[in-house]
Amino acid sequence: MTVPDDTGMQTLYPFLYSGGASADALLADAARSAAEKTAEIAELRALLAERHGEALLHCARRLAEAFQAGGRLLTFGNGGSSTDAQAVARLFACPPPPARPLPAISLPHDVATLTALSNDVGFEVVFARRLAALGRRGDIALGLSTSGGSRNLLRAFEEAAGRGMVTVGLAGYDGGAMAEAGTVQHLFVVPSSSVHRIQEAQTTVYQVLWELTRRALEGDL
């Protein structure tokens, strides 16, 4: 998704817009802004523990049950979130040792199927059709969006819920349509309006979810 410029460039970089700054002053200004952003995400991450702690625990136990029953993880997202879909699938399927690998597939990374479905049917079905083909009752569908409003994700969750899959959603802002759809059983909303901070916090959410799922599978949760 794209959003209006809310990075506060004019406020954060006053020299940039006054036109009279030296290169050194700009460098100092940029470093100060970078440090402020790191404080923002640290604060947001701490808030996630309070807001989502219990739900993460509950979700991790549910995922462990699904894997124990032979379920697989199917992940999806658009743009930057497609790379998170790939990263979370890889974390489950190819974890740092000695954790045991779990079956996981990232849906956005089959370019042939993605472009075929986009060209022949429409972009809205790219994940839903693949879930229909691959997904089984008891599998896990995990989708990431910053807005919570991506049509192809909403269609995918609808498909997954209809097939009896466990559905997990990561969103930002107020959760958008993903929070209203009734198809996302485990929804984790990052309360921020910065696409970048949302993505950073979502990385923590899915990695903590993996850590907890692993502990649950090892009987340690």
CB distance 202 to 170 below 8 Å: yes
Binder of other proteins out of 11, 126, 159, 215 (CB under 8 A):
215
If one asks whether residue 96 binds other proteins (CB under 8 A), the answer comes out as yes
Taking the least distance from each CB to other proteins, the nearer of 163 and 203 is: 203
Query: Would you say the C-alpha torsion 78, 46, 64, 176 has a positive or negative sign?
Result: negative
DSSP class of residue 12? H
In one-letter notation, the amino acid at residue 218 is: E
Smaller CB separation from other proteins, 131 or 168: 168
120 binds other proteins per the rule CB under 8 A: no
User: Out of 72, 129, 130, 186, which residue is the one contacting other proteins (CB under 8 A)?
Assistant: 186
How many residues lie near other proteins (CB under 8 A)? Answer: 80
**110, 134 contact by CB (below 8 A):** no
Matching residue, tokens 């309360």: 191
CA distance 73 to 167: 10
Q: Which stretch binds other proteins (CB under 8 A): 20-28, 118-126, 133-141, 148-156?
A: 20-28
- 190-209 residues near other proteins, rule: CB under 8 A: 195-196, 199-200, 203-204, 207-208
> CB burial class (10 A; 0-12, 13-18, 19+) of residue 36?
exposed
In angstroms, give the least distance from the CB of 179 to other proteins. Answer: 7
DSSP character for 107?
A: G
Element (H, E) at 75: strand 73-77
Q: Decide if residue 54 touches other proteins (CB under 8 A).
A: yes
46 binds other proteins, rule: CB under 8 A? yes
Residue 141: strand, helix, or coil: strand
CB of 83 to other proteins, least distance (A): 4
| CA 193/CA 168 separation, integer angstroms | 21
For residue 122, the minimal CB distance to other proteins (Å) is 20
Q: 13 or 132: whose CB is closer to other proteins?
A: 13
| Residues numbered 129-168 forming contacts with other proteins, rule: CB under 8 A | 146
Q: Which of 87, 114, 132, 177 binds other proteins (CB under 8 A)?
A: 87
Task: Please tell me whether residue 42 binds other proteins under the rule CB under 8 A.
Answer: yes
